[in-house]
Structure 1
Amino acid sequence: MILVLISPRQAGLPFAAWLPEEAGRLVAVTAAGTDVGPGFAEVVTVPDYTCDDAVLAAAGEAARRHRPRAVLALAEADVERAARLRSELALPGLDTTAAAAYRDKVLMKEYARTAGIPVPAFAPVATVRDITDFMAAHPGRVVVKPRSGSGSTGVHVIDAPGRAAPLADLLADGSYEVEEFVEGALHHVDVFRVGGEQVAAVASRYTGAGCLTHWADAPLGSRNLDPADPLHERLVAQTWRLIDALPSPDTVCAHAEFFVTGGGSSSGTRSADAGNGRIVLCEVAARVGGGRIPTMLRHILGVDPRELWARVECALPVALDRVREHARTAPRAAFCGIPPKRGRVLRLPEAPPGAQDFAVHTHIGDDWSGERYRLRKSGDFLASWVVTDPDAAALDARLDDTAQQVSAGFGWEYPQETASSAIPSPTAAVPATAGPDPAEGGAR
């Protein structure tokens, strides 16, 4: 039996199709009211999936009934939960020590710094005084974010000590960190290692300001770098150094994010000094990248990376050589997603020419005003798609063109005080303090 932890955001993934050998032997733990799709022998639900104790208790009871041979979890929120279950059940996979290192942004940076990997100056914080003291020692903008957060939520960019005061209540539980703001292009590297053997590593660059673009209601995208680009080689090498610096098992997948400062490549194209920028760790997670990254990676790897990882986690056969070959010969690929605006959806777009895997994730009448808008994640896309092209410049042009068309295809009804109709290019830079208030929302 396979015990599968399914966050509501993972609902509908075709686990039964990915794991046909386990038909009739899949048991899900998820939130009440979540449709996990077909193929499960039992679905155990909890009222609040954000409650660790409730999820672990439900999973523990299911495990006692079914005696699983593996625990599968794809969401960031389930990384430590799955590790605890594996420890209690003596099952293989990411253990509690490794899970903590990949989840806790302070701990992961301590491991990285010890290994000589550049990281921003950082410190744990529990009070406003901790932030102001840090800013006194490190002048300039700083980022305050949850130590174990994800999806660009709960992040605050502070440009003056006086701006920290409103965060007092938020910091009281001691689960936040502060770090210096790094000026640089944000890249991500997605890697897979099985039995100590490197299977695939794909380096990509986010468009614009990366995961901060939704602060300005701008499209968010990413495109993989040419493997011949010297920056690709450096990013991949730094990622494997990071994996080895953390207490990683021989079999692991990771989604790492790095800033490339100075001479780093500012586009998907190769340039004379593309490999000269300083690579600074942002953070790393022991999971497949979120949002539409898996869809983009499917075009590069030849298989959905979540399916690949699900089969590896469950010790089922995977054609790893085929994955390697596909990654070596695949065309360049990019994804783009349109974030919500503060308002109500009145009109939906059509798929633009050249878009693949086009999907609309909303409906007419969908209301994104108020608290829902404030708590939006960087991966909360209302429409998303992938484009491919072997030529980097052509890929960028196609990404921009399709983003313009899809953005213009939406119709919005805005609250009285809101006026927003601009359609930013996904490759345009977005100020790091963009948004209604630089001390609210976003991610870094």
Structure 2
Amino acid sequence: MSVLILHRGPLEASPYHEWLADYEGEVLLLACQAQLDLFAERLPLGHPFYAHLEAFADFDRPGPVEDRALELAARHGVTHLIAVHELVMDRAARLRELLGLPGQGVESVLPFRDKVVMKEQAIAAGVEVAPYTAKVTTALARDFAGEHGFPLVLKPRDGAGSTGLRMIAGEQDLAEVLAELPAEAGAAGDLLLEAYVPGRMCHVDGLVVDGRVVLAWPSQYQYALASFRDDPGGRIDLTLDRDDPLSGRLLELAERMLAHLPTPVDTAFHAEVFHTPDGRLVLCEIACRTGGAQIRQVIRTLFGVDISEYWVRAQLGLPLPALAGGTRLEPRSMAGQWLLMKRPGEVRRVPSGPAPEQDWVEHFQVFVRPGQVMREAEFSSDFLAVAVASAPTRALVEERLRALGEWFEERTEIAAPQPV
């Protein structure tokens, strides 16, 4: 018995040696070197918990990782394969099918990763989606703009983390985008052009174990996800109160999608839904993975459970103590996250210690240091600092997060970048 983990992202955030301390088999891990470098981490070579550790400079290129995975599977008798990062799930699914391993297969991954298939499935489930076209040729894009107006949203069909997303404000923007766009990409259906949906973006995050939703809760972003490169202020995301009528509607929509899709029997999920000014709920997308940013910490605050840890343990059939009673977990409080993106300039001053000693500060972390020269944020989780707060109500969570943000900004100095 052994488990092979394909890991992309910081290892510090996924302490498998703690999560799987009671696992009786071997643990093998293949990691992405570029991601370790990005977070200034080193592979813990020689760690007694791991039977094999290896990092790949070309992790994101299909081939080398798969070859090593097949080799290790034969050598160690791999019985399970784990991958919690969205950009690795389709590769992990193909490997499971090649090796005859349990877990999510290719057909299950597709509607969670391919936004066109996802939208088709949503429509079949009676869930509204934004008007879209997957054929982004010059003629079709102009026809689409003529029918739906501006702004429009252009994004990769299989994108993640807002990478590659473009907001198209008007005719000039559209002309520039079409001029830059390789003709074959638009004609092949690799991109998605969507009508803009007004309103606030909400999200529902939860966990499915043995085919049953065991915990889930909705939140609402107080910012635009795609603005991470030019948003200098704190970005706040808040859970919805128990008695908010929107809470029940969002939970129902997410569970309707999960019931309609080929949802894995054990999975985390993250659904993003627009709440329009006229009260409609419009699905943006749904993914079978843990939400990004500090959503894990928010869920931990609500339910006392690390959703990624329980997801991994569930796949291996390990005990899940918080779920021993068999009842669905309910939130213990409300919570929210405050996120400050990196921005160009030199870090002159930044708080070096923890946030103010308040029992409502559930998590606080700074990702830069004095003397560091920052560029603009490269992706939607490229943070300068983050915090998670709790309170009995959403309104009090927001008040506390904004106060914490002010405290941080007062103690932070970023020198403007020097002209080139």
| TM-score when normalising by structure 2 | 0.89
For 2:23, the equivalent position in structure 1 comes to 22
For 2:231, the equivalent position in structure 1 comes to 216
For 1:240 and 1:133, how far apart are their aligned partners in 2? 35
For 1:427, the equivalent position in structure 2 comes to none
For 2:265, the equivalent position in structure 1 comes to 250
Unaligned runs of 5+ in 2: 37-41
Report the CA distance shift for 1:360/1:287 in structure 2 as closer, same or farther (over 3 A).
same
For 1:421, the equivalent position in structure 2 comes to none
Instruction: Give yes or no for contact 2:214–2:329 (8 Å, CA) kept in 1.
Output: no
For 1:329 and 1:159, how far apart are their aligned partners in 2? 40
Report the CA distance shift for 1:211/1:163 in structure 2 as closer, same or farther (over 3 A).
closer
- The alpha-carbon deviation at position 52 of structure 1 amounts to 2.5
Unaligned runs of 5+ in 1: 264-276, 419-444
For 1:127, the equivalent position in structure 2 comes to 137
Report the CA distance shift for 1:262/1:26 in structure 2 as closer, same or farther (over 3 A).
same
The share of aligned pairs that are identical, in percent, is 31
Instruction: Give yes or no for contact 2:33–2:57 (8 Å, CA) kept in 1.
Output: yes
Residue 359 (1) aligns with residue 365 (2): yes
Secondary structure at the residue paired with 2:417? coil
One-letter amino acid of the structure 2 residue matched with residue 343 of structure 1: G
Report the CA distance shift for 1:223/1:331 in structure 2 as closer, same or farther (over 3 A).
same
- The alpha-carbon deviation at position 67 of structure 1 amounts to 2.3
Instruction: Give yes or no for contact 1:185–1:260 (8 Å, CA) kept in 2.
Output: yes
Instruction: Give yes or no for contact 1:302–1:327 (8 Å, CA) kept in 2.
Output: no
Q: Which residue of 140, 147, 150 corresponds with 1:140? A: 150
For 2:207, the equivalent position in structure 1 comes to 192
For 1:376, the equivalent position in structure 2 comes to 378
Secondary structure at the residue paired with 2:378? coil
One-letter amino acid of the structure 2 residue matched with residue 362 of structure 1: V
One-letter amino acid of the structure 2 residue matched with residue 2 of structure 1: V
Report the CA distance shift for 1:132/1:61 in structure 2 as closer, same or farther (over 3 A).
farther
Q: Which string of whole-angstrom CA distances, capped at 9 and with x for unpartnered residues, describes residues 392-415 of structure 1?
A: 222111011111222332211212
- The alpha-carbon deviation at position 51 of structure 1 amounts to 1.2
Q: Which string of whole-angstrom CA distances, capped at 9 and with x for unpartnered residues, describes residues 110-168 of structure 1?
A: 11112210000011134344422321221121100111111122110002233123334
Report the CA distance shift for 1:408/1:148 in structure 2 as closer, same or farther (over 3 A).
farther
Instruction: Give yes or no for contact 2:122–2:257 (8 Å, CA) kept in 1.
Output: yes
Q: Which string of whole-angstrom CA distances, capped at 9 and with x for unpartnered residues, describes residues 315-359 of structure 1?
A: 211135369879425111111111111222221125432333211
Q: Which residue of 61, 70, 81 corresponds with 1:71? A: 81
For 1:272, the equivalent position in structure 2 comes to none
Report the CA distance shift for 1:31/1:392 in structure 2 as closer, same or farther (over 3 A).
closer
For 2:55 and 2:75, how far apart are their aligned partners in 1? 15
For 2:283, the equivalent position in structure 1 comes to 281
Work out which structure has the larger RCO, using CA pairs closer than 8 Å and 6 or more positions apart in sequence: 1
Q: Which string of whole-angstrom CA distances, capped at 9 and with x for unpartnered residues, describes residues 294-324 of structure 1?
A: 0111111212111111101222111353698
One-letter amino acid of the structure 2 residue matched with residue 145 of structure 1: K
Report the CA distance shift for 1:397/1:323 in structure 2 as closer, same or farther (over 3 A).
farther
For 2:326 and 2:224, how far apart are their aligned partners in 1? 30
Report the CA distance shift for 1:44/1:334 in structure 2 as closer, same or farther (over 3 A).
same
For 1:60, the equivalent position in structure 2 comes to 70
Report the CA distance shift for 1:325/1:197 in structure 2 as closer, same or farther (over 3 A).
closer
One-letter amino acid of the structure 1 residue matched with residue 91 of structure 2: R
What is the correspondence of 1:241-390 to structure 2 with a 5 Å cutoff?
Answer: 241-262=256-277, 277-321=279-323, 327-349=329-351, 350-353=353-356, 354=358, 355-369=361-375, 373=376, 376-390=378-392
For 1:249 and 1:326, how far apart are their aligned partners in 2? 18
For 2:171, the equivalent position in structure 1 comes to 161
- The alpha-carbon deviation at position 17 of structure 1 amounts to 0.6
Residue 82 (1) aligns with residue 82 (2): no
Instruction: Give yes or no for contact 1:202–1:224 (8 Å, CA) kept in 2.
Output: yes
Greater shift, 400-409 or 320-329, is seen at 320-329
Greater shift, 211-220 or 285-294, is seen at 211-220
Secondary structure at the residue paired with 1:403? helix
- The alpha-carbon deviation at position 101 of structure 1 amounts to 0.9
For 2:253, the equivalent position in structure 1 comes to 238
Q: Which string of whole-angstrom CA distances, capped at 9 and with x for unpartnered residues, describes residues 253-284 of structure 1?
A: 21000010125xxxxxxxxxxxxx21101111
Secondary structure at the residue paired with 2:400? helix
Report the CA distance shift for 1:319/1:293 in structure 2 as closer, same or farther (over 3 A).
same
Q: Which string of whole-angstrom CA distances, capped at 9 and with x for unpartnered residues, describes residues 204-236 of structure 1?
A: 111233453553223223221122221111100
For 2:243, the equivalent position in structure 1 comes to 228
Task: Please tell me the root mean square deviation across aligned C-alpha atoms, in Å.
Answer: 2.3
For 1:287 and 1:317, how far apart are their aligned partners in 2? 20
Report the CA distance shift for 1:130/1:351 in structure 2 as closer, same or farther (over 3 A).
farther
For 2:326 and 2:252, how far apart are their aligned partners in 1? 17
Instruction: Give yes or no for contact 2:8–2:31 (8 Å, CA) kept in 1.
Output: yes
Instruction: Give yes or no for contact 1:184–1:262 (8 Å, CA) kept in 2.
Output: yes
One-letter amino acid of the structure 1 residue matched with residue 121 of structure 2: Y
Instruction: Give yes or no for contact 1:16–1:22 (8 Å, CA) kept in 2.
Output: no
For 1:348 and 1:326, how far apart are their aligned partners in 2? 41
Instruction: Give yes or no for contact 1:211–1:220 (8 Å, CA) kept in 2.
Output: no
Report the CA distance shift for 1:100/1:136 in structure 2 as closer, same or farther (over 3 A).
same
Instruction: Give yes or no for contact 1:6–1:36 (8 Å, CA) kept in 2.
Output: no
| TM-score when normalising by structure 1 | 0.84
